[in-house]
Amino acid sequence: MQGIFFRRMEEKDIGRVADMERTLFSRPWSAQAFSEALRQDSLFVTAVDGEEAVGYCGMYCSYGEGEITNVAVAPRLQGRGIGRKMMEYLIGQARLEGMGRLILEARVSNVRAIRLYESLGFRNCGIRKDFYELPREDGMVMELWLG
């Protein structure tokens, strides 16, 4: 992870982020969706190696809560702790913003992600039946209280 740093997402990151999104997800966000998200009450973070975005995560912010929508690391760099460090950075930024609670969903089959989130303090607080498409699958709702 030497040389990788974390910062708030910038417009210049969107092309690379949208490319990663298409590679990693069956229902990817478009570049336009990321651009619009950055103009809303949101907090998106980019992992950067040199000048290249190699990971990203983000959330919408409302009434002291954050809903995490995206967490991704470039396939060639997965398994190196970048996702954990990026999430720790996002959580730290959420605390600085005064957030009291964060929530997210994960595919119930995504054991690797669920273990990561649990290790960061998130807890299962419910299941959303058929939340995901392509393939159809339940989503585990997880929350982290920051207060």
* Residues annotated as part of the active site: 105, 117
- What whole-number distance in Å separates Cα of residue 26 and Cα of residue 46? 21
Give the start-end residues of each E strand in the chain.
4-8, 42-49, 52-62, 65-73, 101-107, 123-132, 137-145
Q: What does the buried/exposed string (b/e) look like for 7-36 if buried means 16 or more CB atoms within 10 Å of the residue's CB?
A: eebeeebbebbbebbeeeeeebbebeebee
Give the start-end residues of each E strand in 74-122.
101-107
Q: In what order do the strands lie in the sheet with 4-8?
A: 4-8, 42-49, 52-62, 65-73, 101-107, 137-145, 123-132
From the list 67, 139, 78, the residue with the least C-alpha distance to 107 is 139
